[in-house]
Structure 1
Amino acid sequence: MKLLSTALAVFTLLAATTEGSPMLRQAAEGKKNKTPKPEVQQEDPVQQDPVQQTSPVTSGKGCNLTGTYKKGTDISSCSQITVNSLTVPAGVTLDLSKAKKGAIIEFLGTTTFGTQKWAGPLVLVGGTDLTVK
């Protein structure tokens, strides 16, 4: 009788463990149905923003940099550069080094830089007689 009780207890414990665990049950059901495992796609380490900047928006003599900064954006013809609510992707330098002589560079809103371990720099400014606000 003692052996029967022990065997029944072990059987009950085993049944509760395998049938009671939702993860094991889902795995067993997946094998029965031969359901393919869902594919996990790795995200690109560079942050993406739906508003891609192709070139600075010019209005008269000024240029507005907004949305997501694109490496190689030409600001050489802009005498007034407004950086407003700009996102710079990880691993990309905000290059303002080719600013026109006497240009005014003004930062408005929030400039956000993507995170990545790299040598930098985050911002590169260069030119003659520049005013940075």
Structure 2
Amino acid sequence: MRNNTIAVATIAFLALSGAAVAQGAIGGAAEGSREGDRAAGPVGAVVGGAAGAVVGGINGLLGDNQRPRFRDYATHRNHKSYAYDRQVDVGAVLPDDGVTYYEVPPEYEVPVYKYAIVNDRTVLVDPHSHRIVQIID
């Protein structure tokens, strides 16, 4: 019985990791719990919920289903774009001065990051290091 529980937990964790990454910790926990319950009952719900929260929280970026909606949100704010003299890539560090960083609304579940408009592109940025963590295309 114990081996079956461990096997189900492992399968639930692996199957739900992709969904959790796309949704953040809160969405990942909810989705993991639902899918785990469907796959293995109450034990699967507990394991799936915990796995979804961990995987979603580690990644913490906007998922594929969130990016278009967030891009529309940011575009409709008509923020002025910062002219960056380098390539806009994930990992690039933006300068301390001149870039304006904006709060990401709570419904996108990325509370650790802010966003900026750089070379007419919306980017998620770590506010402490000013490092670009995601480009929202």
TM normalised by structure 2 equals: 0.20
Which structure carries more relative contact order (alpha carbon 8 Å, separation 6+)?
2
TM normalised by structure 1 equals: 0.20
- Point out the structure with the larger helix share: 2
Larger Rg over CA atoms: 1
